[in-house]
Amino acid sequence: MKEKRFDTSQKKMFKGIITLLNQKDFLDISVKELCIVSDINRSTFYSHYQNTYELLEDLKEDMIATFLDSFIDEKENFNSGNYEENYIKKEFLIPFLNLVKENRIIYETFIKLHLTFSSDELFNKLITYVSIPVSKKYHSNTKESSLIYISKFIVQGTTALINLWIKRGFKESPEEICSLILKCINGFFNN
């Protein structure tokens, strides 16, 4: 029962912080104001979070977890042999880029506050479960230690590219950014 109340309160706080981020800068949002907009007591807020940064981090983690859950079958697909020779697939990237664009206010806030938005964490998980095994299978002549370095470079480069896309105001479509990322990644394995 207690967990259900937290889930309800958390959803209200998530909705409240998004509403306020559409109206003002994150640094101008007070806990009191958030509680009013979220229709919760301050004691409820403080029983779960110490400050609004923690709430924002939790919101981001929730979004990423929900997104990753939609790709849970990727690992099973590879293990069963139903996987194409791709390092990172557009079927993964385009939905992720759409998620970023649809939740632009949250990602813009993270960049403005110089916080990471865990795309590197998300890509690290993808690399651990899918990309390194795929690379080992299709690029068996590449040493595993090289794959680890290449993977890290790709994760950091992809994260930097997405950050730049956000900072530039999403001028390009998710499909264009996906194509650019895939072009960069494929360059590693086509040489």
0.95 exceeded by pTM: no
Distance (Å, rounded) from C-alpha 102 to C-alpha 134? 30
What is the CATH architecture assignment of 59-189? Answer: Orthogonal Bundle (1.10)
pLDDT value for 186: 74
Residue 117 · residue 183 · CB < 8 Å:
no
Instruction: Sketch the domain layout of the chain as residue ranges.
Output: 2-50, 59-189
pLDDT in tens, the chain (191 residues): 445 555 889 999 999 999 999 999 999 999 999 999 999 999 999 999 999 999 998 888 888 777 767 666 554 554 444 444 444 678 778 888 898 898 888 888 878 877 655 555 665 665 555 555 555 555 667 677 777 777 777 778 888 898 899 999 999 999 999 999 888 877 655 65
Q: Which residues contact 136 (CB under 8 A, 6 or more apart)?
A: 144, 147
Residue 103 · residue 63 · CB < 8 Å:
yes
pLDDT value for 73: 56
Written as six digits, the tokens of 113 are 């506050």
Distance (Å, rounded) from C-alpha 181 to C-alpha 92? 12
pLDDT value for 106: 85
Distance (Å, rounded) from C-alpha 131 to C-alpha 46? 40
> What's the CATH code, domain 2-50?
1.10.10
Distance (Å, rounded) from C-alpha 153 to C-alpha 166? 20
pLDDT value for 125: 60
Residue 38 · residue 13 · CB < 8 Å:
yes
Over residues 68-87, the pLDDT tens digits come to: 676 665 545 544 444 444 44
Q: Which amino acid is at 74?
A: E
Measured at the CA of 154, the angle between CA 111 and CA 172, to 5 degrees, comes to 55
Block residue for tokens 């950050």 = 163
Distance (Å, rounded) from C-alpha 131 to C-alpha 151? 8
